[in-house]
Amino acid sequence: MKLLVKAPAKINLSLDVLYKRTDGYHELEMVMTTVDLADRLELELLNDDRIVIHSQTRFVPDDDRNLAYKAAKLLKDRFNIKSGASITIEKNIPVAAGLAGGSSDAAAVLRGMNKLWDLRLTLDELAELGAEIGSDVSFCVYGGTALAKGRGEIITPLPPPPNCWVVLAKPAIGVSTAEVYEHLNLNGVIHPNTKAMVDAIYQGDYHGMCANLSNVLESVTFKYFPKVKHLKDDMKRFGADAVLMSGSGPTVFALVQHDSRMQRLYNGLRGYCHQVYAVRLLGKRNEFS
């Protein structure tokens, strides 16, 4: 039996770090939403007791370092599943880009294998399991738009944001999330107005959403990777309504409402940046089918 599952990318409309916790993690407050750029996973039951990862993409591990593998293994171990799983990942989301591609793959495996192994777990139960795998996995189990707190595992659903184009651009560099958090200095940092962002989404206020895009991690990534700052400046110059780095970077995204401006942005960036995507906001939560 086979099952095809989509794993959409996420962007942070706001990302705030409140303080460093005693467990070594940072206390976060983020507004996240999914976009119409997705990996596609084909899941298949195996008779023998093993998990196999197939991917044609470089930098995607095919062993227990892969979050999709971890998700299947967690379900197998927790519920004493004796059959195996074959997981084929078609990567469309750039790797190590601040778009939660690996986390979304893991969430897709949780949802899909829940169905194939007939575990009958709710999305809430799957999201709780996802928190054991990685900080963004819980959100990716639900998808849509949400306020995320804690390490990212405390999820409050929000309505879909005002519809618009999202132009994503990833420069040809890698950024370590762990190193960005390690170099983050919260003294003097300007924190996002998370409440204003949430209010703008509830009110369907596109301009309010644009005005409150904010990410405290930019202060670190821009310092060590000035190319990311230059990319953000270029996107503003090309006519974006608002621009922000997603996650710890290096992907930067622009919001635009008009097709002509989206095309201008996309064409301008394609001149020197190979990974550029023009997509729509998804906004709505995943559903069980």
Count of alpha carbons within 13 angstroms of residue 77, beta-carbon side: 8
Q: Choose, from 105, 136, 234, 241, the residue flagged as catalytic.
A: 136
Nearest Cα to Cα of residue 265 among 236, 222, 223: 236
Tell me how many helices (H) and strands (E) the chain has.
10, 11
Four-point Cα dihedral 282, 172, 40, 142, nearest 10: -40
The question of whether 234 is a catalytic residue gets the answer no
Q: Choose, from 10, 91, 170, 232, the residue flagged as catalytic.
A: 10
Contacts 24+ apart (CB under 8 A), 117-121: 117/45, 117/75, 117/79, 117/81, 117/83, 119/75, 119/79
The question of whether 10 is a catalytic residue gets the answer yes
* Enzyme catalytic residues: 10, 136
